[in-house]
């Protein structure tokens, strides 16, 4: 995997004087930004919050000069999980399977099972013998590349990690892979299987929805991101507390202590930023000043 050659276009920082002030970043004129500054409430230095998109065309991934500056000003980087730890990747593979030896065949009627098996074999070149026991939500993620108009696919977190490593930043996680796996275990496998079949049956509309999500993300329209997460097509409304709200509360509880000790750069899925139960609102409720930064 090639390391990106990125040049920081920020200010020159001097560590020779402990009194040196941090350069002020430019505040955005409205709330349409994926990059936010967290200050006040006793913090010695600001921290930064950035909304990511887990999977997209590599050529669409862009990091602004201000984002690079915010990263440079931070002591550590916090993501949903520590993706820099090999144990996270290997642990994820081990935790992909359903509990109690549950199988996909047990979750579907024979005709529906055949439909799923045929799709994975013909379209994804994956035999059912390899995925028979996997959680349906993990399998649904395997459909996303089929919705994308490119072959070179990456994630914002993956590219951000490369940038962080160039700046010698430590990468840490707000959750463990075990916890994330437990989130999917808390949603009935039958419901997950239903959503997987629905996605297979509606790939054309799924591509349109994915394009809409990507365009809204790239335009940094937070209100529209929130509106998308409230749409029934995503199948999240019944489990938003499990997938988003409860996790946001847990993260804010951790960040209150983390930000006291260090200036950190927090990079999590953009859906976690929005709504009354999102990170921006929750951090403000705790007394922090959270301002949108120019991110172009």
The pLDDT of residue 13 is 28
Residue 77 domain-assigned? Answer: yes
The pLDDT of residue 233 is 55
Residue 207 domain-assigned? Answer: yes
By three-state DSSP, how is residue 91 classified? helix
The pLDDT of residue 17 is 35
For β-strands 35-39 and 289-292, DSSP reports them as antiparallel
Residue 136 domain-assigned? Answer: no
The pLDDT of residue 127 is 95
The pLDDT of residue 190 is 96
Residue 220 domain-assigned? Answer: yes
Residue 47 domain-assigned? Answer: no
- DSSP H helices in 74-135: 86-94, 104-107, 110-122, 128-131
> 174 and 251 in contact (C-beta within 8 Å)?
yes
208-230 pLDDT tens trace: 988 999 999 999 999 999 988 77
Regions in the chain scoring below 70 on pLDDT: 1-23, 231-237
Residue 256 domain-assigned? Answer: yes
- What is the enclosing helix (H) or strand (E) of 35? strand 35-39
| Structural domain range at position 92 | 55-101+149-180+202-292
> Residue 29 — φ and ψ, nearest 5°?
-75, -20
Residue 218 domain-assigned? Answer: yes
Tokens of 246: 């409860």
Residue 154 domain-assigned? Answer: yes
How buried is residue 188: exposed, middle or buried, by Cβ count under 10 Å (0-12/13-18/19+)?
Answer: exposed
DSSP letter assigned to residue 99: G
For residues 50 and 292, what is the distance between their CA atoms, to the nearest angstrom? Answer: 10
The pLDDT of residue 286 is 98
The count of domains in the chain is 1
Query: HSE-up of 194 (CA within 13 Å, CB side)?
Result: 9
């Amino acid at each position: 995997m090639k390391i990106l050659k990125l040049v920081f276009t920020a200010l020159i920082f001097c560590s020779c004087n402990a009194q040196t002030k941090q350069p002020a970043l430019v505040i955005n004129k409205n709330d349409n930004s994926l990059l936010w500054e967290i200050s006040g409430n006793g913090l010695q230095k600001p921290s930064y919050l950035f909304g990511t998109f887990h999977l997209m065309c590599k050529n669409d991934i862009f990091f602004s000069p201000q984002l690079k500056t915010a990263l440079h000003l931070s002591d550590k980087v916090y993501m949903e999980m520590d993706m820099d730890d090999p144990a996270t990747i290997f642990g994820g593979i081990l935790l992909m399977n359903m509990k109690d030896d549950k199988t996909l065949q047990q979750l579907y009627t024979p005709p529906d099972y055949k439909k799923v098996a045929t799709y994975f074999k013909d379209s994804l070149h994956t035999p059912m013998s390899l995925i028979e026991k996997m959680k349906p939500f993990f399998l649904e993620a395997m459909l996303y590349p089929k919705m994308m108009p490119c072959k070179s696919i990456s994630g914002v977190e993956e590219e951000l990690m490369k940038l962080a490593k160039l700046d010698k930043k430590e990468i840490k996680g707000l959750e463990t892979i075990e916890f994330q796996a437990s989130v999917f275990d808390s949603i009935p496998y039958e419901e997950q299987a239903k959503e997987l079949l629905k996605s297979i049956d509606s790939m054309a509309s799924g591509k349109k929805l994915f394009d809409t999500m990507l365009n809204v993300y790239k335009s940094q329209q937070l209100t529209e991101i929130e509106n998308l997460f409230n749409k029934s097509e995503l199948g999240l409304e019944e489990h938003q507390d499990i997938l988003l709200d409860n996790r946001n509360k847990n993260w804010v509880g951790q960040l209150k202590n983390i930000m006291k000790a260090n200036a950190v750069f927090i990079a999590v899925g953009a859906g976690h930023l929005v709504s009354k139960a999102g990170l921006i609102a929750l951090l403000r409720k705790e007394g922090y000043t959270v301002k949108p930064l120019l991110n172009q």
